[in-house]
Structure 1
Amino acid sequence: MTMRRSDVLREQRGDDLRDTALREGARRRRRRARRRTWVARPATLVAVVCLLVLVLWMGMRVNQARAAYAGVAEEVATLQALADDDLVALSSRDLAPIIFSLDELGRDVSRLQRAVTLPPGVHQIAEHLPWIGARYRAGHDMLKVAALLSEAGETTAQVGREMLVAMEATGVSADGSRPSGTWLDILGRHQAELERVAAQVDEAQRIRAQLDEEALPAPARKRLPALDRALARVGDFGDLMGPDLPALQAALGGNGPVRYLVLFQNPAELRPSGGFPGTMGLVTLERGQLRDYQIFSSHELTQDYMRQRQERRPQPWPIEQYFPQDGFLLHDATWWADFPRGAAVTMEMYAETDWPPIDGIIALQPTVVSDLLRITGPITLSVDGEDREITADNVYAEIERQRRMRRAGNLDATHHKELIALIGEALIERMKTGDRQMLARMAASLLPAAEHRDLQFYASDPAVQAMADRQGWTGRLIPEEGVPTLAVNFANMAINKASLAMQPRLTLTLEGPENGQRRATLDVELEHLGSDDEDPLYGGFQRWWTEVLLPEGSAWIASDPSALPDPEALNGGSYQIDLFPGQTGRVHVEFTMPDAPSLLLRRQPGVRTAEVTVVDARCQQSREVSLTNDVKVDLASLCR
């Protein structure tokens, strides 16, 4: 069919319109593309600039971090070298470089914290990123610990320097004058700063306990043991420098003179609290200084008590049973294994005498005197016209030498209690004239003695007593409330000095738990190490009153031998074991105890070191310990 001309023209015009539309669309697309290009170019340029700035920022931060880390490492190495020295030998001048290093360490740690902290917003995001977040948080936690400890250390060193200056100026012995400030006065003036130090140490310990060690880089992980040792060292003094500081000041005469009755316990006459106190002393402290002292036989005080007592007190059952006397006497009043109980009774009896009032009681084992002599060095005393050198190793033997001489018929020989007084006086005079380093070492030796119960402390001031309880210095029968405790206490009821010739051994066997309880057996073995050839006073017959404390919630089932009819016996009963030289006696106790993850084995002061074996009968695995101090046994790990 032939198209008309008009149709052809219309079709051509349509094609032209379509071409025009296509060309117009293309032009519009090109214009939009050009507009997008002009917009994108500045945006890209800004992004590039931001990226360059970020790279430069990170580079600067990396360089800053490296410089700060190098400073931290250098100061830590310096402080570790200083810590390896004998810290108690440091003088006030020696503390100056330590203070400087701690200040520099704090500055470097702050620089390092700033260098590794991302900008706000990014910091919070980074903490929650997978893999990266854990490492970012761990690194910051480690730096927080370092910052807290460096600031706490600097404050402590500054206060310590002031204390040393005061001690070097005034000493530890009061001479009747009123110095401008003793070392204890300085300590009190800085109470607020020291409380802040205690809070910083607590916070550092909290962060360390939650630290993700695996997220730390290897160099940081290598430093964790040193950090833990540092935290352990300062942690022991955290309470003393914080909430317990006012009570510590009061205990040392910071609020006025305080007087203590000191008991020198003889482990050869073993009692549950540590030994018979044949020699005693009175010591007065004021503002942290020794004001006066005297040493005397305990019988002097007991005789005065008997003349002035208001009534005859009933005796504990073992004393009434084995060596009854004219009522309960003052020198026996610390009979019980729980030292605060006996000390409180002693103070009540003492108050009935006309002796000067006392504020507390301190009991000492001979090992404390030996420790002090190791620090002061030997002392030479004129005894019966002969110069005798008293050392840390022979002090007890020298005292007993005088007793043996008198037993051999030399009644002109100096009485052993007189020699104890001479040794005590010589030590105190050595302390009064000693340099600061010696005094610091002597004071430091008393802390482990108190922790091991070779030194036991009691105060009538409730705040002071509470402080001593928290520090573990009071010799309580149950050292930690709520912690399952097993204790076996001995007393030689034969009137002799043979207690040191007895070796105790204990075996505790535990069955598997059932309904929250574990059946257990305790076997106590007592071996007489003496011989028939010895002086019977030291190696003769022994009659052992043995008392057993079972963990709270335990139930006694049976025993061999039978328990004594002791109305005050603890929940495990008390038993009598008679031994001649070379013999071995035993006590067997069966009981149930609550299932617990751990058990505290309590050490009795004065007794020969007890060897203890704890056995889990399910797997026959055991742990053996020597009770040189209290030991906490992890029962849950025995069968792992």
Structure 2
Amino acid sequence: MQKPPHGALFDVKPVDDNGSVDIARMNAVQAVVNLSSSSHRNKKIFVQTTPSISSLSVKKSLPRQSKITQPKDFKQEFESALNEATDLQIELAKFSQTHQFVGRPRYRPILPTVRVTQTTPFPEFDVILTEINRSRAAAARVPEMTAMIALATPVASQGRRQETRRQTISRSKWKPTLRFWLGLVIVAVVLAILAASGWGLKQRLTARGNSAVADLQNAKTDLENLNFDDAAKDFTSAYQRFASISSFIAALLGGGTVKSVQNLVKIGKLISDSGAAMAQAAKALAEAGSLFTPGDTAGPSISSVMLKLQTALAISYADISDVKALLADIDASIIPEDNRAAFEQLSALVPTIEQVVGRGADYAKFFADATGQPGTHRYLLLFENSSELRPTGGFPGSYGVVTFKDGKLADFFVDDVYNLDGQIKQPVIPPVPLQHITPDWGMRDANWFADFPTSARVIEDFYFKESGQRVDGVITINPSLVTDILKVMGPISMSQYSLTLNADNFVTTIQNQIEYVADRAQPKQVMKDFVPLLIAKLRSATSDQWLAIFNSIIANIDKHAVLMYFNNLNLETFAADQGFAGQVYQGSGDYVMPVISNIKGSKTDVVTDTSLALTTEFNSSDALHTLTITRTHNGGNEKYAFYNKQNPAYVRVLVPANAELVGIQGDDNPNFKPIINYKTASFNNFTINDTLAKFESTGMEAGKKEFQFWLIVDPGKTKTVTVTYRIPKALDGDIYNLYVQKQPGLVVKNFSTTVGNFIYDAPLEKDLPIKVELP
């Protein structure tokens, strides 16, 4: 190859001042070629052709992402970027067309622009979300990358080209710098908007979170009271408050928390749907008044109304269950600290709401099944008067029979219990404590067993012998339920008796009418006339009144003022599970249940106060109990004579089967004698009830041992009886469990128990389970 005439090859030859080729200058250049390192040859480099505010340095490679990236904290990112060390060579590479920097290729995905289409319930968030969306869009636009081949360039080629490139850099540098500062201004504006409109709302957001939880707490209370209409409103309010917070959180959080954010949004929608279902439940209850028209074939059936209620509650239950599942799948760390407490309260509250709604749906199904469709269902009602205590609640001077046919009320009959007892053909020997007041046993005294299922079966047997009819179950009702209904519905006028009955005078007025005013041949006629008037009053009840009435029913069931027994195993199992079957507790651990029976003491229990105190000491694993029962008779000077009589109480204390009696002090030993001698041949036609015979021969009932004694209190006096007994092996390691069961109808104003250093002192309103961990 022929050598060039000069020492070097020139792509552009130098010229002199006249524009001619400058030969002298060309001859002065040495033939030297400066090539790049061989390791850099033929390698691709990636250069930004368009600078971006969202990426201030190419030093850091963007992570691979499969989800939308959202800035977690604008202020933090901004300060981090400003404080970052700057590499000038890299900075120049952003704006120039070629450079000597060589690096590994980095593939950056083009991310989609995030769009928020959901409208927030509160307009003040619109500005925040708009600015956040703009920032997301800017961050998502990743610069295009251009692949270039590194060329071997001679040093001699860098004359005017180098100067030109410097000039290009100098001219092009201003435009990106301007963009940089404009970007800072935009970020500053966004931060200012967030500070003023978003972060400035911190207190309001926290308040809304707390308010949303408060709404759900109110909804829980409404549901417990069967107030579905207000529950629906509370659910809707909670959703509106919760949606605003969810939208704000969703706008701020990063891509790694998308699932949690989606859960938050779903939760709000489910809460709203649950509220809508509550509204449907309220509509179903509004039809309840039409159910109390005996023989009405045109109106809705109880089953159909209960089915609507059950369906609405089932929908709400499913929604709340989904809310619980979604809450469990949310990372609590994504919730801003100011709202985290409300979130945690929500998580703790939802399972309770789920339980209440589920219980409501179960009750609706229960009532539908109990009234039956199709078919006929008949239940025996005992109106037990707790002013005259008996083991299951009170003496049942009146009874009723309610009949449902094809899910509708077909008949409701009320009568004096003595009318029925007089029809028995073969007399039965009564319990020993009753033999001094009656020669035979009848349905009026058949609730003798503290275990209500046992009493109910005996009652059913007496009813069949006396009436010839079978019933499907037995329901006891305490007067407190009637007084609660009168509080809601208002007074009832009985013009034929010149009476107006209300919640305050119902018990005393009816008792006075029966005991002293009424025709002695039919003393309970006033009750027979009252019940149809009460039913007519219920037919006119508004939906709000029905809500209050159902609430009263539930409250009376909880305190055992209403007990139910069913021959149907499924119904009886439900009653037992819900705690209104009245069965004696069969769980493990220690146990005690004082049971008082008023034997010919008229209505004096209502003016007699009862206090219970239980002291427990341990010797190894054995428990030594001292039970003190104190009764104070406040009668003697009352307006009504039935409150001024002596109160003779036959007391039984149910304890575990292995209990050992140490002694009873302060009890009475009256000289009561049977009216007749049941061993005399002339009375050999009396029969023996097998259940009663077993109970009296063993002193055991429902697996519990009983300590029995008399406690007789005169008007104006106080009497105390102390029972001391031992329970072997009462401790389970260092744990002591005691179940105190309350007798239905018995009012215990003061109950105290002392176990080691543990002291409990409060009225005993319902069953009380106690667990003590001893040191």
Query: Given the two structures, how large is their TM-score scaled by the length of structure 2?
Result: 0.62
Q: Name the structure where helix makes up a greater proportion of residues.
A: 1
Query: Is 1:608 paired with 2:747?
Result: yes
Q: 1:514 to 1:153 in 2, by over 3 A?
A: farther
Cα deviation digits, residues 53-104 of structure 1 (max 9, x gap): 7346988989899958979959949966995998889898x99978977887
Name the SS of the counterpart of 1:291 in structure 2.
strand
Match of 2:662 in 1: 558
Note the 1:515-530 alignment, pairs <5 A.
515=621, 517-530=622-635
What is the match of residue 147 of structure 2? none
Q: By how many angstroms is 1:491 displaced?
A: 0.7
**Corresponding residue number in structure 2 for 1:319:** 434
Q: Post-superposition shift, 1:460?
A: 1.4
- Deviation, structure 1 residue 467: 1.3
Deviations 1:399-448 (A, max 9, x none): 13224544xxxx76896522222332221111123333323322221111
Matched, 1:236 2:342: no
Whichever residue aligns with residue 502 of structure 1, its letter is T
Per-residue deviation at 1:250?
1.3
Query: In 1, Cα distance between the equivalents of 2:408 and 2:419?
Result: 27
Change (3 A) 1:97 1:490: closer
Tell me what 1:438 maps to: 545
| 2:698 counterpart residue number | 567
Give the structure 2 partner of residue 278 of structure 1.
Answer: 397
* Among 351, 369, 385, the residue aligned to 2:464: 351
The C-alpha deviation readout for 1:152-187, integer Å capped at 9, x for no partner, is: 4443434544x257558x5543553244x5463154
- Pair 376,633 (structure 1): closer, same or farther in 2 beyond 3 Å: same
Counterpart of 1:398 in structure 2 is 509
Q: Give the aligned length.
A: 578
Provide the residue aligned with 1:157 in structure 2. 279
Q: Give the corresponding residue for 1:503.
A: 609
Q: 1:96 to 1:456 in 2, by over 3 A?
A: closer
Cα distance, 1:540–1:101 mapped onto 2, change above 3 Å: closer
Query: Would you say the 8 A contact 2:649–2:711 is kept in 1?
Result: yes
For residue 578 of structure 1, the aligned residue among 712, 728, 736 is 712
1:46-57 aligned within 5 A = 47=61, 54-55=69-70
One of 492, 510, 529 as aligned partner of 2:598 = 492
Distance 1:534 1:397, change over 3 A: closer
Amino acid at match of 2:725: E
**Whole-Å separation in 1 of the counterparts to 2:311 and 2:379:** 29
Judge conservation of contact 1:526–1:585 (CA < 8 Å) in 2: yes
Q: Give the aligned partner of residue 332 of structure 1.
A: 445
Per-residue Cα deviation, 1:492-538 (whole angstroms, up to 9, x for no partner): 223533233332211111225734x4333222222333338987743
* 1:606 partner SS: coil
In 2: Cα distance, 1:209 partner to 1:49 partner:
29
Are residues 585 and 232 of structure 1, via their aligned partners in 2, closer, same or farther at CA, if it must alter by over 3 Å?
same
Change (3 A) 1:466 1:145: farther
Q: 1:497 to 1:78 in 2, by over 3 A?
A: closer
Supply the distance in 2 between the matched residues of 1:165 and 1:324 (Cα, whole angstroms). Answer: 48
* Cα distance in 2, alignment partners of residues 214 and 318 from structure 1: 68
The aligned counterpart of 1:248 is 367
Picking from 725, 745, 757, the partner of 1:590 is 725
Of 251, 267, 288, the match for 2:386: 267
Letter in structure 2 aligned against 1:47: S
Contact 2:323–2:350 (8 Å) recurs in 1:
no
1:379 and 1:402 mapped to 2: Cα distance?
15
Gaps of 5+ in 2: 1-31, 50-56, 75-112, 127-204, 670-695
Equivalent in the alignment of 1:374:
487
1:456 to 563, 571, 579: 563
**469-478 or 492-501, larger mean C-alpha shift:** 492-501
Quickly say closer, same or farther: Cα 1:391–1:535, change in 2 above 3 A.
Answer: closer
1:208/1:535 Cα in 2 relative to 1: closer, same or farther (>3 Å)?
same
- The answer to whether the 8 Å contact 1:106/1:151 transfers is no
Determine the C-alpha separation between the residues in 2 that align with 1:483 and 1:204: 37
Alpha-carbon distance, 1:607 to partner: 2.2
Aligned equivalents of 1:507, 1:299: Cα separation in 2: 38
Look up the SS of the partner of 1:446 in the other structure. Answer: helix
| Distance (whole Å) between structure 2 residues aligned to residue 627 and residue 602 of structure 1 | 9
Distance 2:652 2:598 in 1: 12
The residue aligned with 2:686 is none
What secondary structure sits across from 1:635 in the alignment?
strand
Contact between 2:753 and 2:761, CA under 8 Å: does it hold in 1? yes
Aligned residue for 1:623, secondary structure, equals strand
SS of residue matched to 2:387: helix
CA distance 1:634–1:347, change in 2 (3 Å): same
Letter of the 1:491 counterpart: S
Taking structure 1 as reference, are residues 361 and 62 closer, same or farther at Cα in structure 2, changes over 3 Å only? Answer: farther
Q: 5 Å matches for 1:466-477?
A: 466-477=573-584
The alignment partner of 1:450 has SS state of helix
Maintained 8 Å contact 2:71/2:253 = no
Alignment-mate amino acid for residue 623 of structure 1: Y
Query: Whole-Å Cα distance in 2 between the matches of residues 85 and 520 of structure 1?
Result: 39
Helix, strand or coil: the match of 1:315?
coil
**Whole-angstrom CA distance in 2 between matches of 1:248 and 1:442:** 15
State the alpha-carbon separation in 2 of the partners of residues 301 and 99 from structure 1. 52
Query: How many angstroms apart in 2 are the aligned matches of 1:431 and 1:589?
Result: 50
For residues 741 and 450 of structure 2, what CA distance do their matches in structure 1 show? 11
- For residues 245 and 440 of structure 1, do their structure 2 counterparts lie closer, same or farther at Cα, with a shift above 3 Å needed? closer
Separation in 2, partners of 1:438, 1:603: 30
Instruction: In structure 2, give the amino acid aligned to 1:556.
Output: E
Give the Cα separation in 1 of the matches to 2:736 and 2:342.
Answer: 30
Q: SS where residue 414 of structure 2 aligns?
A: strand
**Counterpart check, 1:546 vs 2:651:** yes
* CA RMSD in angstroms, aligned pairs only: 4.8
Cα separation, 2, equivalents of 1:383 and 1:33 = 116
Q: Amino acid of the residue matched to residue 256 of structure 1?
A: G
Aligned to 1:32: 39
Deviates more, 1:59-68 or 1:441-450: 59-68
Residues 248, 467 of structure 1: 8 Å contact kept: no
Aligned residue type for 2:610: P
Shift of 1:379: 1.4
Decide whether aligned partners of structure 1 residues 185 and 533 sit closer, same or farther in structure 2, where only a CA change above 3 A counts.
Answer: closer
1:185-242 CA-to-partner distances (Å, cap 9, x unmatched) read 1543686775564455567668989999999734342466677667545523414515
Say if 1:549 and 1:572, in contact at 8 Å, map to a contact too: yes
